[in-house]
Amino acid sequence: MTARTTRFLQQWLVFAGLVAVWELATRAARAPFFPPPSQIARAMYQQWLSGPASRLFLTDDVFDHVFPSIGRMLGGWAGATVVGVALGVLLGRSAVAMDFVGPLLAFGRAIPPPTLVPVFLVLFSLGTPMQLATIVFGTVWPIVLNTVDGVRAVDKVKVDTARAFRIQGPQWLFGVVLPSALPKIFAGLRVSLSLALILMVISELVGTTNGIGYQMIYAQRQFELPAMWSGIVLLGVLGYVFNTLLLAVERRALAWQPVGNHAQATGG
Amino acid sequence: MRRAVRGLLGLAGLLALGEVVGRSGLAPEGYLPPTSVVLTRLVELLGDQSFVLDVVATVLAWAIALGIAVAVAVPLGLLLGSVPVLRHGTRAVVEFLRPIPSVALIPLAIVVFGMGPDTKIFLAVYAAVWPILFNTIYAMDEVDPLLVDTARSFGLNRGQVLARVVLPNAAPFVATGIRLSASIALILVVSVELLAGAGAGIGKFILEASSGSGRMDLVFAGTLVAGVLGYLVNAGFEGLQRKLFAWSATTGEVPQ
Amino acid sequence: MPTMLEVTDLGHRYAAKDGVYTAIDGLSFTVGSGELVCIVGPSGCGKSTLLRSVSGLLRPTTGQVRLHGNLVSGVPADLAVVFQDYSRSLFPWLSVQRNVEFPLRRALGRAERRERARQALEQVGLTGAAGKYPWQLSGGMQQRVAIARALAYRPALLLMDEPFASVDAQTRFELEDLLLRVRREQDTTVLLVTHDIDESVYLGDRVLVLSKSPARVVADLTVDLPAERDQITTRESERFVAMRAEVARLLHSPPAEVAAPARERAGAVVGE
């Protein structure tokens, strides 16, 4: 058995052990707010995975609440990526422009995104447009700031090399600037992806009648604690899955980096 | 100097844009109040005792949450960072807990802690623990083994090596973690106040302003205050870091 | 031999903290078509500034550079540069093959680009490494890639800025011989900057000796060694030893009046 598999087993054994302890503790304590994991698992199964075989056992709930949530989250995040990278490249190539808007960016990032939810609520109609606006506004800052950093930090020798070979225009932008900035851009994308999940939940707590966040707050009001907990677990799983997927994409896109750097990239 | 002037010009530009858009009638009356109205409200609010108390409540909750997060995450990070077995063993647990968005715990925190300040403090702590924890663990990996060997060759024992070599080396990274967490904790406190409704706080103020009468001018004024607070928190910690760790070549940034 | 490069009264000044810093001052020299000219000078004398000015990357404060008689403003089309820091000059996100092809993308079609890159990589002995990424290669091999990239571009003038300063001694010998070989094969004109006296004499048809900053041309020496050179026999030959001693002397105690370095005079010094 390799050291890697040993470590893997070790990790999951500890994990399983902790879940078992939690199960025993919650059963013994009978605390109403903390249902045992087995009960949460059963609630999750009933809520999402007890559908007909023709639909891969997915229930209506998945189609009515989970998928719309994921769609809004990814949609908002994609929008923020397009806006953020474009803006970041423009600002990063011009020190003067950055002088003008740099402080504004720092300020914009510091605004807690939910404070603007009331504004988005009145400006956009209730539901998806307002939610998309919230997600885009909340997730765009790390992408812009990281892109600016990455674009600014293009290595001097590479700039000289490109100039010496008279590389200009699109080839300069897509062949030199963006690849140089890519590691930084990915760092920003990862931060904003986890923000997108948070903002998706926030926007659903406020202004919709569907989505994971809506279901959770509904379950809480009905005092269905297992259902509320299954929402928490589902969001944890989604966060983990999306982060892992993005890491996989990143490893692909940055396959040209020396091996040592990969360990660092995954370490954080 | 020129940069500061340009920054101010940029700010003035945004404010002017806000004024123009507010007066243009692009949005229905009262939805996007012009800058002048928002700033007037802001000045009025700063003289209003109950609003000042809201700000104090937010800042206080933020400070308590950050203090608890530091007290929990730094020792834990040092422990996990220096005992590899513990670290690998707990990795799956950490990887499972970390992605749970703190806001997903809002319903739970409300039923457990009620509507008091405990809820927002708990959630802010939960969110603020991670950056400090990860930066601290990372910092323990970053200590140059050569430095440790050098110290040991001068006859320092394990405890002395920890106190004089490892901790000072880890400090810039830990500080960066704390700075990130400080911003996150503030955002969380205000968000929870806004979403869960609290006794007092900027978030509660914004919630009340927006519900019922829909006073967007007050919403914007409150948002401005929250933004300025966040800006000051980040700038303050950055300044402190520059001062304290001027000796360090690293910026303390951890590759994510 | 027609003149390819003509540098007249070149000077460059920076605004520094404490007033104006003059990096190079009143530099004049020419490079004939097909020549390999080495510029040697003490470290920090402004060699890189000179090279950047010649390549059009830097606009000189005074004087002018002419390539084929045309005034250089901006980087000319038929010029390529090999930088010292290969690890930073190669694009890490491109494979070796694509690094070599990269500058050709504007002008050539896919098939032709490939063929040129293949030839260039063969010339520098890297045929097997075409699919690798730069970080997978040793320093010497990375610099070979940079040389291949410059060769594939087929420049009339190849500029090299301390190209072998960052590789170990053994590799340096190999790369020096590689340069001598490909330049003969391709009949390229080369202007090479170095701080290594032996290297300048071993490689050059001519050696330009610079003074300390602000750099001026102290001497312009013709290297009268046989065209065919060898790392062992050439370096132990009497001519080589005398030549490098001469360059070393000029570097350490340059003649008093350096304002008008005449080729004849320098030639007289060397020519016994």
Do C103 and A165 count as a contact with CB atoms less than 8 A apart?
A: yes
Q: Which of A10, A115, A214, A225 has the most B C-beta neighbours within 10 Å, making it the best mutation to test the interface with B?
A: A115
Alpha-carbon span B124 to B196, nearest angstrom: 13
Q: Which residues of C33-50 are buried (b: 16+ CB within 10 A; e: fewer)?
A: eebbbbbbbbeebbbbbb
Q: Domain count of chain A?
A: 1
Q: Are C199 and C164 a contacting pair, CB within 8 Å? A: yes
Q: Does A261 touch chain C (CB under 8 A)?
A: no
Question: Shortest CB distance from A198 goes to which of B14, B103, B209?
Answer: B103
Is A31 inside any structural domain? no
B250 has pLDDT over 70: no
pLDDT for residue C272: 30
Chain A contacts in chain B segment 43-62 (CB below 8 A): none
Tell me which amino acid residue A144 is.
V
Is A touching B (3+ C-beta pairs, cut-off 8 A)? yes
Q: What is the pLDDT of residue C185?
A: 87
Tell me if the bond preceding A142 is cis, omega within 30° of 0. Answer: no
Count of Cβ atoms closer than 10 Å to residue B75 Cβ: 11
What does the DSSP 8-state code read for residue B194? Answer: I
In order of their start, the domains of chain B are 39-244 (1.10.3720.10)
CB contact under 8 A, B191 and A216: no
**Mean model confidence pLDDT for chain A:** 85
Mean pLDDT calculated for residue range A84-89:
94
Which parts of chain C fold into alpha helices (H)? 47-54, 86-89, 96-101, 110-123, 139-152, 169-186, 197-203, 233-236, 238-252, 263-270
Whether the pLDDT of residue B27 is over 80: the answer is no
Residue A3 in any domain: the answer is no
CB spacing of C89 vs A182 below 8 angstroms: no
Buried b (16+ CB within 10 A) or exposed e, A117-130: bbbbbbbbeebbeb
Q: Angle at the Cα of C75 (from C70 to C80), degrees rounded to 5? A: 105
Instruction: Pick B118 or B211 by higher pLDDT.
Output: B118
Q: Burial-class residue A43 by CB neighbours within 10 Å (0-12, 13-18, 19+).
A: buried
Q: Is the pLDDT of residue A208 over 90?
A: no
Q: Are B204 and B187 in contact (CB under 8 A)?
A: no
What are the structural domains of chain C? 3-78+191-270 (3.40.50.300)
Interface A:C, Cβ pairs < 8 A: 56
Give the angle C125-C126-C131 at the CA atoms, nearest 5°.
Answer: 165
Beta bridge partner(s), residue C24: C12, C215
A236 contacts on B by Cβ (under 8 Å): 96-97, 99-100, 104
Of C93, C106, C153, the CB nearest to A256: C93
Average confidence (pLDDT) over C234-243: 92
Q: What is the pLDDT of residues C9-67, one digit of tens each?
A: 999 988 877 778 888 888 899 999 999 999 998 877 788 889 999 999 999 999 999 99
Q: How far is B157 from chain A (nearest CA, A)?
A: 30
B144-169 tens-digit pLDDT: 778 888 888 888 888 888 888 888 88
Percent of chain C with pLDDT over 70: 93
The residue among C55, C84, C91, C101 with the most chain A CBs within 10 A of its CB, best to mutate, is C91
- Angstroms from A121 CA to nearest CA on chain B: 10
Does A1 score more than 70 pLDDT?
A: no
Q: At what angle do helices B84-97 and B49-82 cross, to 10 degrees?
A: 140
Please tell me if residue B230 touches chain A, with a CB cutoff of 8 Å: yes
What is the CA A101 to chain-centroid distance, rounded? 26
List the chains bordering chain B where 3 or more Cβ pairs fall under 8 Å. A
Please state, in angstroms and rounded to a whole number, the distance separating the CA atoms of residues A205 and A114: 11
Angle at CA C8, nearest 5°, toward C5 and C13?
Answer: 115
Q: Give the minimum alpha-carbon distance from B250 to chain A in angstroms, rounded to a whole number.
A: 15
Among the ranges given (A143-147, B93-97, B190-194), the one the predictor scored with the smallest mean pLDDT: B93-97
Question: What is d(CA A162, CA B66) in angstroms, rounded to the nearest whole number?
Answer: 47
C272 vs C201: CA distance, rounded Å: 17
A258 touches chain C (CB under 8 A): yes
pLDDT at residue B114, as a whole number: 80
| pLDDT tens readout for residues C198-220 | 999 999 999 999 988 788 888 99
Contact between C81 and A182 using a beta-carbon 8 Å cutoff: no
CA distance linking residue A108 with residue A9, whole number of Å: 44
Q: Does A256 touch chain C (CB under 8 A)?
A: yes
Q: Which H or E run includes C220? A: strand C217-222
> What residues pair up with C11 in beta bridges, in sequence order?
C62
Q: A139-148, A248-257, B143-152: which has the minimum mean pLDDT?
A: B143-152
Is residue A88 a contact partner of residue A145, using CB atoms and an 8 Å limit?
Answer: yes
Inspect the interface and report whether the beta carbons of A171 and C106 lie closer than 8 Å. yes
Chains A and C touch (3+ CB pairs under 8 A): yes
In sequence order, the 6+-apart residues with CB closer than 8 A to the CB of A181 are A88, A89, A92, A147, A149, A150, A151, A153, A154
Cross-chain Cβ contact A164/C91 below 8 Å: no
Strand order, beta sheet including C157-161: C79-82, C157-161, C189-194, C36-40, C206-210, C217-222
Nearest chain A alpha carbon to B187? A112
Count the Cβ atoms, other than its own, within 10 Å of residue B94. 16
By DSSP bridging, strand C62-67 and strand C157-161 are: unpaired
pLDDT (0 to 100) of residue C16: 77
Q: How confident is the model at residue B102 (pLDDT cuts 50, 70, 90)?
A: confident
C202 against A65, higher pLDDT? C202
Rg (CA), chain B: 22
Predicted pLDDT of residue C268: 35
Triad B198, B203, B209: Cα angle to 5°: 100
Q: What angle do CA B34, B35, B40 make, to 5 degrees?
A: 105
- Put simply, the answer to whether A160 touches C153 (Cβ < 8 Å) is no
CB contact under 8 A, A228 and B9: no
Residues from chain A contacting residue B183 (CB–CB below 8 Å):
110
Alpha helices in chain A (DSSP H): 3-29, 37-48, 60-61, 67-92, 95-110, 117-123, 128-152, 156-164, 169-172, 178-207, 212-221, 225-253, 259-267
Rounded to two decimals, the ipTM of the complex is 0.82
Q: Is residue A71 assigned to a domain? A: no
**Would you call C106 and A167 a contact, using CB atoms and an 8 Å cutoff?**
yes
* A161 contacts in chain C (CB < 8 Å): 81, 83, 89
Q: What's the whole-number average pLDDT of chain C?
A: 87
Q: How far is CA B222 from CA A44, A80, A205, B14, C60, in A?
A: 39, 25, 21, 18, 55
Contacting A with CB below 8 Å, chain C residues are 52, 55, 57, 75, 77, 79-81, 83, 85, 88-89, 91-94, 102-103, 105-106, 133, 135, 153
With beta carbons under 8 A apart, name residues in chain B contacting A142: none
Q: Are C222 and C205 in contact (CB under 8 A)?
A: yes
Other Cβ atoms less than 10 A from the Cβ of A143: the count is 27
* Residue at A35 is within a domain: no
A174 CB within 8 Å of a chain C CB: no
Q: Do A197 and B206 touch (CB under 8 A)?
A: no
Give the model's pLDDT for residue A262.
Answer: 38
Q: C9 — alpha (psi -120 to 50), left (phi > 0) or beta?
A: left
Bridge partners of C39, per DSSP, are C193, C208
Report the DSSP beta bridge partners of residue C31: C5
Most confident of B91-95, B192-196, C86-90: C86-90
What percent of chain C lies above the pLDDT cut of 90? Answer: 55
Q: What percent of chain A has a predicted confidence (pLDDT) above 70?
A: 96
| Pair of tokens at residue A145 | 């700031």
The verdict on a CB contact (< 8 Å) between C93 and A164 is no
Q: Do A225 and B110 touch (CB under 8 A)?
A: no
Share of chain B above pLDDT 70, in %: 96
Please give the distance of CA B2 from its chain centroid, rounded to a whole number: 30
What average pLDDT score do residues A72-85 get?
A: 95
pLDDT in tens, C133-163: 999 999 999 999 999 999 999 999 999 999 9
Residue of A20, A178, A204, A24 lying closest to A89 (CA atoms): A178
Does residue A13 lie within any of the structural domains? Answer: no
The pLDDT, as a whole number, for residue C197 is: 93
Per CB-CB distance under 8 Å, the chain A contacts of C79 are: 164
Q: State the DSSP code for B253.
A: P
**Contact predicate A120/A207, CB 8 Å:** no
Chain C residues whose CB is inside 8 A of the A252 CB are: none
User: What residues are paired with C207 via a beta bridge?
Assistant: C38, C221
User: Does residue A58 carry a pLDDT above 90?
Assistant: no
Cβ–Cβ under 8 Å, residues C92 and C133: yes
Own/partner contacts of B26-29, CB < 8 Å, gap of 24 or more, are B27/A123, B28/A122
Lowest mean pLDDT among B87-101, B136-150, B221-235: B87-101
Cβ contact C89–A175 (<8 Å):
no
CATH number at residue A224: 1.10.3720.10
Given a contact as 3+ CB pairs under 8 Å, which chains touch C?
A: A
- How many angstroms away from the CA of A267 is the closest CA of chain B? 7
Rounded-to-integer distance, Cα B73 and Cα B70, Å: 5
CB–CB contact A232 B108 (8 Å): yes
pLDDT higher than 70, residue B189: yes
Inter-chain touch B95–A240, beta carbons under 8 Å = yes
Out of C75, C85, C92, closest to residue A164 by CB: C75
Q: Residue A24: count other Cβ atoms within 10 Å of its Cβ.
A: 11
Cα separation, A163 vs A158, in Å, equals 8
For C64-80, what is each residue's pLDDT tens digit? 999 998 999 889 988 99
Q: Which domain holds residue A124?
A: 40-48+79-267
**Tally of CB atoms within 10 A around B238:** 14
Q: State which residue of chain C sits closest to A175, comparing Cα positions.
A: C102
Long-range pairs of C179-186 with CB within 8 A, sequence gap ≥ 24 = C179/C147, C179/C203, C180/C36, C180/C229, C182/C123, C182/C124, C182/C147, C182/C151, C183/C36, C183/C158, C184/C227, C185/C123, C186/C151, C186/C154
Rounded to a whole number of angstroms, the CA Rg of chain C reads 19
Q: Please check the confidence at residue A245 and state whether its pLDDT lies above 70.
A: yes
Q: Which of A165, A184, A256, A257 has the highest number of chain C CBs within 10 A, making it the mutation to test binding with C?
A: A165
